[in-house]
Chains A and B, each alone.
Chain A
Amino acid sequence: MTRLWSNGDRWGIGLPIKMNTQYATGDDSAIYERPSLLTWQNQDHLVIEITKTWRVDIDWWRERVWRAYFKLQTDTGLLVIVYQDLLSGKWYLQRLYD
């Protein structure tokens, strides 16, 4: 069983991962940072499609949570939801569809 939450963290903010990014132009002609290569458990997964993106910015009055979410498909057959914590710049793997 692969737990996607770390020990002691019941809320499961996800597993920290290494992500290579590249810049791309969005629909609104602005330039955004997009994931291109995901490294998880020392294995590289090339991103072949980003099926959905969305952003969350909540709790700014308490402890701000500001994230950019990506639903990705990789060349190794994974369908995952990853996000970048825009405050720290770190990437996390949140969901793995099987």
Chain B
Amino acid sequence: MIACLTVPYFATAVERRKDLSSVEKLSHPGPGSGSLPGLVIGGQPWEPQPLYAFSQEVAKNGVRPGMSLRLAHVLSPQAEFISTNLPHYFSAHGEITDILTDFTNLVEPQKLWSLAEVEPLRKAKRRDLPAANLPTNQPAPLGKAFGRRLPARYTLDLQSLPPVEALPLAQEIGRSVRQHTYLSPAIGLATNRFVAQMAAVLTHPNHARTISLEDEPLFLSAQTIQFLPLQKEMDRRLSLLGIRTLGQFIALPLASLHSQLGLDRQSGREFSQLYYLVKERIQPTGRIGNFYSIHQVQPLATEKQEQIAYYFDDPVNNLLNIERILVRAASELAARLHQAKQETRSLQLILEIDRRQNDPIYNQLSRRQPTADPLHLIDSLRELLHLSWQQVNWLYKQSGSEPGIITLKVILTDFCSVAPIQLSLFEQSKTNAHRLQEILSNLFKKHGSGSFFRPAPADIDHPLLERRYRLLELNPA
């Protein structure tokens, strides 16, 4: 089974977490919940830029993704307008991913920016994202209907878990996310990701919905064609032909659709793929293989990193001062590495200059030998600084002003252990024990009773090996 967890109106839900009273209203919607004021993220109404995200109350007034802030204000004058806090959303995104990885490593968090997947996100915002935080996986393209509620989306592969067991597990996952993050996820379960994602979109927050293989044709045929990644013109032509649902879409012969839509060779091929993808799910023939939307969920590869950042109120333009700061950063990072018994191979230096229209200056250095020695780190960082400084100077020569650094960030990645370390199987620290217990109880819930045993000595000198030990069933309690 594939589970898709979405948190609708993600950015606004994260903003509202700060205010516990609104969290309560969201978690327990009742008669008073309608009084929650709308929220628009992206800036103030007079700023000439598109909005970044908005809440459900604002969506009811007709605000749509990609709309300008000014228009959003016209449609929803009562709404509160706030600026974008990207690190905050990334952090919440990471929190959810962490919780999900307790259940399975087959978690595919979709890029947070797909919450604006329907409309192009303005370039300035993309540049603001730290490169290390961007997930590398490329999900299949999704239709407009998937992005309407601006969700954060996570796909989990529950492997061969039958639907009867998958639903309680999904509910447990939902509870866990709600408990730890105060966000309200909606979960869709199906045998493939396309349908699971669709089910998640159509499910209320704090609910889970299963679409079994038998129900799939009926479920799919009633859904809107907006779930398909159709181009605008194709969408328009289909609506002119009166085709609204996926059932109507696949009822038409492919050849006539081609001629009606006047598709060229490339778009014709893509269209045919889409057509057969849906047709195979609604009217399975077994001839067409599973298309791209049903591809496997990739295991989550999380890269550890250590970082340190300095933010300056006044731009710093003295190279010696920056070098001194780097020396301090190197000593602190070396101390952290020593504590973790790790060495690093890769160093990144990011300098943000006071002219905001420029991208941050980013340089990376990979060492031949991993190190945790502060002197080695300082040498490498100096090398990076001199390289970056040349770029800063070049930039400022263009404008004829003095260079000034407002942010300095050092990131260490690509770690390896200082020496082989025995896994701390017998470590009894309280936090680890608690964490282990939590993970074990999740595994119990996933696999059920009769799956985990502990060997216990029975008759240690018995001539038959199998009678020397007994297997005792582990009790999750």
Task: Report Cα–Cα, A13/B465, bound state, in Å.
Answer: 9
Quick check: is A48 within 8 A (CB to CB) of the other chain? no
A81 touches B465 (CB 8 A): yes
The 8 Å CB contact of A11, one of B453, B463, B467, is: B467
Contact string against A for B residues 67-84, beta-carbon threshold 8 Å, 1 for contact and 0 otherwise: 000000000000000000
Across the interface, name the chain B residue whose C-beta is closest to A58.
B463
A88 → chain B, closest Cβ, in Å?
16
Task: Report Cα–Cα, A22/B466, bound state, in Å.
Answer: 27
Chain B residues near A78 (CB, 8 Å)? none
Across the interface, name the chain A residue whose C-beta is closest to B462.
A58
Task: Report Cα–Cα, A13/B471, bound state, in Å.
Answer: 13
B425 → chain A, closest Cβ, in Å?
16
The 8 Å CB contact of B471, one of A10, A81, A94, A95, is: A10
Quick check: is B470 within 8 A (CB to CB) of the other chain? yes
Contact string against A for B residues 458-469, beta-carbon threshold 8 Å, 1 for contact and 0 otherwise: 000001111100
Q: Which of B453, B466, B467, B471 has the most CB of A within 10 A?
A: B466
A61 → chain B, closest Cβ, in Å?
15
Across the interface, name the chain B residue whose C-beta is closest to A83.
B465
Chain B residues near A14 (CB, 8 Å)? 466
B463 touches A95 (CB 8 A): no
A56 touches B466 (CB 8 A): no
A10 touches B464 (CB 8 A): no
Quick check: is A65 within 8 A (CB to CB) of the other chain? yes
Chain A residues near B464 (CB, 8 Å)? 56, 58, 65, 67
Quick check: is A77 within 8 A (CB to CB) of the other chain? no
Chain B residues near A12 (CB, 8 Å)? 466, 471
Across the interface, name the chain A residue whose C-beta is closest to B463.
A56
Task: Report Cα–Cα, A11/B455, bound state, in Å.
Answer: 11
Task: Report Cα–Cα, A11/B464, bound state, in Å.
Answer: 10
Chain A residues near B467 (CB, 8 Å)? 11
Chain A residues near B471 (CB, 8 Å)? 5, 10, 12
A94 touches B465 (CB 8 A): yes
Contact string against B for A residues 50-67, beta-carbon threshold 8 Å, 1 for contact and 0 otherwise: 000000101000000101
| Chain B residues touching A, range | under 10
A30 → chain B, closest Cβ, in Å?
22
Across the interface, name the chain A residue whose C-beta is closest to B467.
A11
A95 touches B465 (CB 8 A): yes
B466 touches A13 (CB 8 A): yes
B464 → chain A, closest Cβ, in Å?
6
Contact string against A for B residues 439-471, beta-carbon threshold 8 Å, 1 for contact and 0 otherwise: 000000000000001000000000111110011
Across the interface, name the chain B residue whose C-beta is closest to A65.
B464
A54 → chain B, closest Cβ, in Å?
8
Contact string against B for A residues 65-76, beta-carbon threshold 8 Å, 1 for contact and 0 otherwise: 101000000000
Task: Report Cα–Cα, A22/B199, bound state, in Å.
Answer: 62
A31 → chain B, closest Cβ, in Å?
25
Chain A residues near B465 (CB, 8 Å)? 81, 94-95
Contact string against B for A residues 2-20, beta-carbon threshold 8 Å, 1 for contact and 0 otherwise: 0001000011111000000
Across the interface, name the chain B residue whose C-beta is closest to A4.
B466
Across the interface, name the chain B residue whose C-beta is closest to A54.
B463
A11 → chain B, closest Cβ, in Å?
5
A10 → chain B, closest Cβ, in Å?
5
Chain A residues near B463 (CB, 8 Å)? 56, 58
Across the interface, name the chain B residue whose C-beta is closest to A59.
B464
Contact string against A for B residues 42-73, beta-carbon threshold 8 Å, 1 for contact and 0 otherwise: 00000000000000000000000000000000
Task: Report Cα–Cα, A27/B140, bound state, in Å.
Answer: 69
Across the interface, name the chain B residue whose C-beta is closest to A12.
B466
Task: Report Cα–Cα, A64/B470, bound state, in Å.
Answer: 21
Task: Report Cα–Cα, A11/B467, bound state, in Å.
Answer: 7
Task: Report Cα–Cα, A40/B14, bound state, in Å.
Answer: 54
The 8 Å CB contact of B470, one of A10, A58, A67, is: A10
Chain B residues near A5 (CB, 8 Å)? 466, 471
Task: Report Cα–Cα, A81/B465, bound state, in Å.
Answer: 10
Task: Report Cα–Cα, A5/B463, bound state, in Å.
Answer: 18
Task: Report Cα–Cα, A95/B466, bound state, in Å.
Answer: 9
Across the interface, name the chain A residue whose C-beta is closest to B471.
A10
Task: Report Cα–Cα, A80/B467, bound state, in Å.
Answer: 18
Chain B residues near A56 (CB, 8 Å)? 463-464
Chain B residues near A58 (CB, 8 Å)? 463-464
Q: Which of B464, B467, B471 has the most CB of A within 10 A?
A: B464
B residues contacting A by CB (< 8 A) are 453, 463-467, 470-471
Query: Could you list some 21 contacts between A and B, CB below 8 A?
Result: A5-B466, A5-B471, A10-B453, A10-B470, A10-B471, A11-B466, A11-B467, A12-B466, A12-B471, A13-B466, A14-B466, A56-B463, A56-B464, A58-B463, A58-B464, A65-B464, A67-B464, A81-B465, A94-B465, A94-B466, A95-B465
Query: Which 6 residue pairs are nearest across A and B when measured between Cβ atoms?
Result: A12-B466, A56-B463, A11-B466, A10-B471, A94-B465, A13-B466
Q: A5-B471, A94-B466 are in contact. List 8 more A-B contacts (CB 8 A).
A: A10-B470, A10-B471, A11-B466, A12-B466, A12-B471, A14-B466, A58-B463, A65-B464
